[in-house]
Structure 1
Amino acid sequence: MAEMMKEVVVTKPHTYEVRTVPRPEPTGDYDVLIQMKAAGVCGSDFHIYNGTNPCSTYPRIPGHENAGVVAAVGPKVTKVKPGDHIIVDLIHPCGHCYQCKIGRKNVCENVLVRGSGYDGGWREYFIAPEDEVYPISKDVPWKDAALVEPFAIGAHCTTRGRVVPEDRVLILGTGTIGSIILQTCKAKGVKQVICADISDSSLERAKEYGADAVINTKTESLKDRIVQLTDGHGVTIAFDSACFPGSLTMIMEPGIVCNAGRVVPMGFVTAPESISQAMINQRELDIIGSRMSCYQFEPTITRMENGEFNLKGIATNFIPFSHIQEVFDKIAHPDPSVKKMVILFDE
């Protein structure tokens, strides 16, 4: 192993550096030294670079969708060994607060989020504790392994939303997470999945993933189409994965979500919205928060190993780590054809 490595640091909004630094060494009993192989680029990474992520601090090494190979381990590590392929959790919980004790470590009172609240995987090597790494089959290509984390989000939010086969589902926003929620709902056998977006190409992709109906909200009324598609009943659950100012208010318009329905917002928009108590209580809606994922990595890895996901088109651009400038160029100048980027580390 080389003694030096490269890391990417966002020093402040719209500014980053590629630094050459000493490679870390596992000094703790349960340390795992990871050689990075692939890292997904998430919408939250866009927000970190643009200074619009309310959960992030600077300077920061981004990257929470991390896949790599074990390079070295501490003396008491038994879960993995050098040479193993692994996925790295993004959550570093305290383990002793109320939330951790009730199985909600993703909203731990003292949680650190890799790539946001502390440094992530856009570097050639880093160390994580043994209980935050999960083995994955060497048969899974690195470009696919980097997608485990977003698919774990789909598993978590649909679990939080109590998705069942009787549901009629609306997904507003069919980017990466919306497409994954769609696949997860279809795997759970729901009655109907309706996808809405302003991008025809994203909606066409949603059809390929099994959407029963699509709505372009630039040219069609979301409410009118939902009323039509559900025979006037409305959907039983709506996921807001568009996450723009006003998107939550948009899906809570009467006629879209039925009485006793559920609404799951997926984003971190800080702008206030025009939501009243009456909008919730007249229909007795459940508003269900969902953040990252909790205990979903291992089942998601199993499904990835079994080939249960349709990965075609989830990631569209694969960029070498040595060309990291291209990632930031695409962040600074978004291209609708770029659905998701994955960084592949140089061999």
Structure 2
Amino acid sequence: MSATETMKAAVLVAPGKFEVRHVPIPAIGRDDVLVRVMQVGICGTDIHMFHGRYAAEALPIIPGHEFCGTVEKLGEGVSNLKVGTRVVADINIGCGTCYWCRRNEVLNCAEVTQIGIGRDGAFAEFVAVPARLVIPAPSDIAPETLALTEPVGCVVRAAKKAQVSLGDSVVVLGAGPIGNLHVQMMRLAGAAPIVVFDLSKARCEAALAAGADVAVSDPAKLKDAVLRATDGIGADLVIESVGLVKLYETAFDLIRKGGHVAFFGIAGPQDSLAVPILQTVLQENSLKGSVAAMGEDMRQALKLLVNGRFDVSPFTGAIYPLADIQQAFDSLPNRPSDLKTQIRMS
């Protein structure tokens, strides 16, 4: 494969505007792998980037980080992978040696970048990935399932950070794609009961089908529903999965004394929250942040998906070819029942 060869890629050239272009196939270094992309999911982060609300300084860029594919080419220093192997990948690239990288907190590394966010990603025929971040996947699992590994890894990490115990009561604020996955993860972790809130009745129904015990679409009824489900105590854990200050404020009103709020939804860089300090101290409440799958989170997520622990059927119904990526993004607001939209490369 020569350096002059090109590939088709969707370049986000400005907020709201993709251009499908022929661009050079990315070069790989000694310790890298070139992956031929099969399927890519549209993440909430991609949507924020599309609207200019996140990582705008990186434009123009090829987004896309929820992907699977096959190994196309190996760097000369890579010996643990084979061409043709189906793979997924950890997207978080740190220095690998600092304090944060050693603790699997790569996003805190001073040199961190992310595939599809800080550097070109997978809305393309090929993507370059450090070999140490590539994870072999079974060849008999559908690409649309494997492309869910990264978002499932995110909720795996959130569950570990929140230290969910058997029988913990959990409220998930937001029943979109990641909220639905949080519900499924909480069920696997043994949480009970699980209460979901979303303004969309359709998404509430989907959350109930995914394992939620109670779903609420009326904000005025949410607190009463949580208190009824928890014998008047309040929730052990509230997960904010949308990124709205108002919902984060709501979370503090729903936890029990000694309960926890999981900060997951990405808000704007200027958004801030007035934390009730006295309440937090006296009640021994806590805040737990989590954002992306790193390291073993991805391998655990892949195991869960391969062994059928997640119901992926609500996430695999909306698939667009690369040529129609602009339409896929533009139509998202009109397709609330599609929990996940994916782009198919081949």
TM-score with structure 2 length normalisation?
A: 0.93
Which residue of structure 1 lines up, in the alignment, with residue 14 of structure 2?
12
Which residue of structure 1 lines up, in the alignment, with residue 232 of structure 2?
232
CA displacement at 1:44 relative to structure 2? 0.8
Q: List structure 1 segments (4+ residues) > 6 angstroms apart after TM superposition.
A: none
SS in 1 for 2:58: coil
> Aligned partner of 1:264: which letter?
A
Q: How does 1:153-302 map to 2 (within 5 A)?
A: 153-218=154-219, 220-253=220-253, 256-270=254-268, 271-295=271-295, 296-302=297-303
- Bigger shift: 34-43 or 55-64? 55-64
| Partner Cα distance (2:16, 2:120) in 1 | 17
CA contact (8 A) 2:242 2:266 kept: no
| Partner Cα distance (2:166, 2:231) in 1 | 18
> Aligned partner of 2:107: which letter?
N
Question: Structure 1 residues 96 and 40, CA, compared in 2 at 3 Å: closer, same or farther?
Answer: same
CA displacement at 1:96 relative to structure 2? 2.5
| Partner Cα distance (1:336, 1:323) in 2 | 19
Question: Structure 1 residues 113 and 55, CA, compared in 2 at 3 Å: closer, same or farther?
Answer: farther
| Partner Cα distance (2:284, 2:55) in 1 | 30
CA contact (8 A) 2:55 2:117 kept: no
| Partner Cα distance (1:16, 1:279) in 2 | 47
Sequence identity, in percent?
Answer: 29
> Aligned partner of 2:77: which letter?
K
For residues 272-296 of structure 1, the C-alpha deviation after alignment (integer angstroms, 9 at most, x for no partner) is 2333312422322110110202221
CA displacement at 1:182 relative to structure 2? 0.9
CA displacement at 1:342 relative to structure 2? 0.6
CA displacement at 1:54 relative to structure 2? 5.0
CA contact (8 A) 2:172 2:238 kept: yes
| Partner Cα distance (1:22, 1:260) in 2 | 54
> Aligned partner of 2:256: which letter?
C
> Aligned partner of 2:161: which letter?
R
SS in 2 for 1:9: strand
CA displacement at 1:196 relative to structure 2? 1.0
SS in 1 for 2:331: helix
| Partner Cα distance (2:214, 2:221) in 1 | 14
Matched, 1:148 2:149: yes
> Aligned partner of 2:217: which letter?
N
For residues 207-262 of structure 1, the C-alpha deviation after alignment (integer angstroms, 9 at most, x for no partner) is 111111111134x4211211111111111011001222311001111xx1011111
CA displacement at 1:199 relative to structure 2? 0.9
> Aligned partner of 1:248: which letter?
Y
CA contact (8 A) 1:54 1:268 kept: no
CA contact (8 A) 1:194 1:212 kept: yes
CA displacement at 1:341 relative to structure 2? 0.3
SS in 1 for 2:233: coil
Which residue of structure 2 lines up, in the alignment, with residue 118 of structure 1?
119
CA contact (8 A) 2:61 2:120 kept: yes
Question: Structure 1 residues 24 and 60, CA, compared in 2 at 3 Å: closer, same or farther?
Answer: closer
| Partner Cα distance (2:291, 2:339) in 1 | 21
| Partner Cα distance (2:308, 2:56) in 1 | 33
Root-mean-square deviation (CA, aligned residues, Å) is 1.8
Uncovered stretches (5+) of structure 2, i.e. residues with no partner: none
> Aligned partner of 1:252: which letter?
F
| Partner Cα distance (1:13, 1:330) in 2 | 15
| Partner Cα distance (1:103, 1:126) in 2 | 23
| Partner Cα distance (2:103, 2:118) in 1 | 23
| Partner Cα distance (1:4, 1:316) in 2 | 30
Question: Structure 1 residues 207 and 107, CA, compared in 2 at 3 Å: closer, same or farther?
Answer: same
CA contact (8 A) 2:17 2:326 kept: no
CA contact (8 A) 2:171 2:194 kept: yes
| Partner Cα distance (1:276, 1:307) in 2 | 41
Which residue of structure 2 lines up, in the alignment, with residue 85 of structure 1?
86
For residues 32-58 of structure 1, the C-alpha deviation after alignment (integer angstroms, 9 at most, x for no partner) is 111110000011111101011158621
| Partner Cα distance (1:29, 1:141) in 2 | 30
- Bigger shift: 233-242 or 70-79? 70-79
CA displacement at 1:17 relative to structure 2? 1.7
For residues 125-146 of structure 1, the C-alpha deviation after alignment (integer angstroms, 9 at most, x for no partner) is 1211111110000011111111
Structure number with higher helix proportion: 2
SS in 1 for 2:181: helix
CA contact (8 A) 1:56 1:117 kept: no
SS in 2 for 1:117: coil
> Aligned partner of 1:13: which letter?
P
> Aligned partner of 1:227: which letter?
L
Q: How does 1:303-342 map to 2 (within 5 A)?
A: 303-331=304-332, 333-342=333-342
Uncovered stretches (5+) of structure 1, i.e. residues with no partner: none
Which residue of structure 2 lines up, in the alignment, with residue 24 of structure 1?
26
| Partner Cα distance (1:278, 1:60) in 2 | 44
CA contact (8 A) 2:18 2:325 kept: no
Question: Structure 1 residues 230 and 64, CA, compared in 2 at 3 Å: closer, same or farther?
Answer: same
> Aligned partner of 1:244: which letter?
L
